[in-house]
Amino acid sequence: MSEEHKPFGWWYSPTYKPVKDGYFVGYKESVEYIKSVLNEQGPFDGILGFSQGACFAALLTELLETRNPNFNHPPFKLAILVSGFKPIVQEATNSMLTKENKLKTPSLHYIGDFDTLVLPKTMLALTEAFENPVVFRHSGGHYLPSTPTSKKAFIQFLDTIKAGTLSPNPDRATIRLESE
C-alpha cells in the first residue's frame, strides 16, 4: 500500500515510539498540514474535534489565539470538543493549556459519563484550559450523542456565539447545559 493510502489515526507519545525532535510522532506534520489548509482555504469560524482530534483542535485553538506568527489565520470564534483531553506530555507540543493561561475562545465540550477510552475527569481537565467552557454531559461513552437534548445543546451554543451572549460565569468555570 502506498504511503498516501495508508490509514493514519494517531500521533504517538514519545513513551510509545521513539521521537527525534521531542514532539509526538506526526504532530509537527499535522500542524504543518492544517496550517496550509487554514492559510489556503480559510478563514474558518470554528473547529470541531473528536477524541485526539479534540486534543489537536484545542492545541490549534491555542496557536491561533496566541497569534503564532507561523499562522496567517485569525483566532477561531468557537471550538467544539468531543471526548477531548489535554496532551499527555505538554512539553511535547509546547502547549500552554494550563489553568493559569486560559483560552478565551468559546468552547463546547461533550463528555460521556461512561467513556472508558477517555475518562470524564480527563475530559474535564481540558475544560479547565478554557476561560468559559460550556459542558454537555451525557450518559454514554466515547461518541458524540445525537439525541434531541444534545442537538439542542449544540444549537443553543451556536446561538449564543452568534448573538455574542456567551459570558463568563462568576460562580463556576463551567456552565452546564441541560444534560442527559
- Domains of the chain, residue spans: 12-176
User: Residue 105's pLDDT band (boundaries 50, 70, 90)?
Assistant: very high
Cα gap 119→6, rounded to integer Å: 29
Predicted pLDDT of residue 11: 55
Cα gap 16→102, rounded to integer Å: 29
Residues 6+ away with beta carbon under 8 Å from 149 = 138, 178, 179, 180
Predicted pLDDT of residue 176: 47
Res 23 pLDDT > 90: no
Whether the CB-CB separation of 123 and 109 falls below 8 Å is answered with yes
Res 14 pLDDT > 90: no
Higher pLDDT, 167 or 96: 96
User: Residue 89's pLDDT band (boundaries 50, 70, 90)?
Assistant: low
pLDDT tens, 45-80? Answer: 999 999 989 999 998 999 898 877 778 899 999 999
User: Residue 44's pLDDT band (boundaries 50, 70, 90)?
Assistant: very high
Whether 45 sits among the annotated catalytic residues: the reply is no
Whether the CB-CB separation of 83 and 123 falls below 8 Å is answered with yes
Q: Give the distance from CA 32 to its chain's centroid.
A: 17
Catalytic-labelled residue, pool 73, 83, 107, 115: 115
Q: Give the distance from CA 72 to its chain's centroid.
A: 20
Whether 107 sits among the annotated catalytic residues: the reply is no
User: Residue 28's pLDDT band (boundaries 50, 70, 90)?
Assistant: confident
Res 115 pLDDT > 80: yes
Cα gap 47→54, rounded to integer Å: 9
Q: Give φ, ψ of 71 to 5 degrees.
A: -115, 125
Catalytic-labelled residue, pool 30, 51, 83, 150: 51
CATH architecture of residue range(s) 12-176: 3-Layer(aba) Sandwich (3.40)
Res 92 pLDDT > 70: no
Measuring CA to CA, which residue among 83, 82, 81 is closest to residue 116? 83
DSSP state at residue 158: H
Predicted pLDDT of residue 174: 41
The cell for 68 is 503564532
CB-based burial label for 80 (10 Å; 0-12, 13-18, 19+): buried
Catalytic-labelled residue, pool 13, 113, 142, 179: 142
Measuring CA to CA, which residue among 12, 15, 32, 16 is closest to residue 24? 12
For residues 134, 79, 159, 172, the Cα torsion angle rounded to the nearest 10 degrees is: 20
Whether 142 sits among the annotated catalytic residues: the reply is yes
